[in-house]
Amino acid sequence: MRQVFRLPDAGEGLTEAEILSWQVAVGDTVAVNQIIVEIETAKAAVELPSPYAGTVAELLVEPGTTVEVGTPIIAISDGADEPSTQTAPAPAPADEPAGAKIGEPGADGRIANLVGYGPRPGSVTRRPRKPATPAPTATPAGGTNVAMETVNVPKATFVPSESERRTVPLAKPPVRKLARELGVDLQGVDGSGPGGTITRDDVRQSTSSAPPVASGGERRVPIKGVRKATAAAMVDSAFSAPHVTEFLTVDVTPMIELRDQLRTTAAFRDVKLSPLVFAAKAVCLAARRTPEVNAHWDDDAQEIVYYDHVQLGIAAATPRGLVVPKIRDADTLSLVELAGALAELTATARSGKTPPSDMVGGTFTITNVGVFGVDTGTPILNPGEAAILALGAVKQAPWVVDGQLAVRTVCQLALSFDHRLVDGEQGSRFLADVGALLANPAVAITY
């Protein structure tokens, strides 16, 4: 019997995904929960486990293709009769309870999950491929037919040609991404890594051995995945919310001194205390006095929604583009808890493991342009949020202290806000409060 696995619903309003790479090939033996395919949604890249055990009968979607949720993507045979045109509809993946979206509890109380980047459980056992042979539908012993819905496999299936009937090239996701950017077909690249794995150098060498391209050439990359979603969100935000940006330069020398003091204490000895941690704490404290920056303009209901807690987004640059994972209820966390949450969030984002559910539902965002040595900028609001703070580079500069010129540690802040929600006076007060907390952390005791 042959069963079809359909692209599962990733939740959070995502309706499609791109098939990045298959981790199995026709003829491979797979086990339940074994990783079989890597996909990319508008939020993140994830790996999907197989809900069935058996032999890969057919790959129904070619890598690089974007398909809608519910589309059959792979057919797996359990080793019994193998009809060539009729398949059983796939149930929800093993890690996804029936009827539940990813990240939500199902009827049995289990939480549905997709699998992020990580070690794969076991290696794929390969055997020679053979064409599927038409055979009658399997009937259990005793002559009782199994009750199941049968569907026809779509005609537009991916059937490799003879030249393509080879094993799936072994390459890690970053190497596949590099190959797509350089326009390299991995099928034609010989891998020099362990077990024939294709490396970055293999991909680059394949381009250097290709015929030279005339000066003034160009390279085209499809707009999809995280980049496509980010572009759409930024255009929507830029032309739907009236932006105002204000700037403030702050002497943060006292903040740096406090950080050095805290590092000598037991509670903070193993904690990474970056300027971003202090900025996050300052934002949460300042939002108490100016709740308008932690609100949402509901155009459909003609209401302003004020949030009780700060769902703090931290903009992070990743190999797949800009993502903004959230620290939930950041205003309820202590400084050490905030530092731990921030370290975990950034490490997860950079490794590409951030689940889609962690990148929605934000109420305020911080973008740390200072890590790139940039002084300041004019950040664009995340759609649905009232304000975003850009934290510039923390560096030494000449500064006037008590009428005398001195070398101090300074930082520039830039606050963009939705003028429908936040008036100039409110935005200015909030930015001044954040600056005061960074310039003199002792001010926090007054909040």
Residues designated as active site: 419
Q: Is 42 left (phi over 0), alpha (psi -120 to 50) or beta?
A: alpha
Q: What is the DSSP letter of 115?
A: B
Distances from the Cα of 262 to the Cα of 187, 267, 271, 274, angstroms:
54, 8, 10, 12
Name the strand (E) or helix (H) holding 367: strand 364-367
User: Residues with Cβ < 8 Å from 217, sequence gap 6 or more?
Assistant: none
Structure tokens at 252: 């943060």
Distances from the Cα of 234 to the Cα of 27, 154, 241, 380, angstroms:
44, 36, 11, 7
CA distance 411 to 276: 11
Neighbours of 141 (CB within 10 A): 5
Closest CA to 350 of 319, 313, 329, 371: 319
Cβ pair 55, 27 in contact under 8 A? yes
CA dihedral of residues 167, 172, 173, 174 (deg, nearest 10): -130
Please report, for the chain, how many H helices and E strands are present, in that order: 7, 20
The rounded radius of gyration (Å) of the Cα atoms in the chain is 27
Distances from the Cα of 307 to the Cα of 100, 294, 295, 383, angstroms:
27, 6, 6, 15
Name the strand (E) or helix (H) holding 286: helix 275-289
Cβ pair 411, 435 in contact under 8 A? no
DSSP string, 116-179: -SS--SSPPB----------PPP--TTSPPP----EEPPSS-----GGG-SPPP-B-HHHHHHH
For helices 275-289 and 253-262, angle between their N-to-C axes, nearest 10 degrees = 110
CA distance 225 to 345: 21
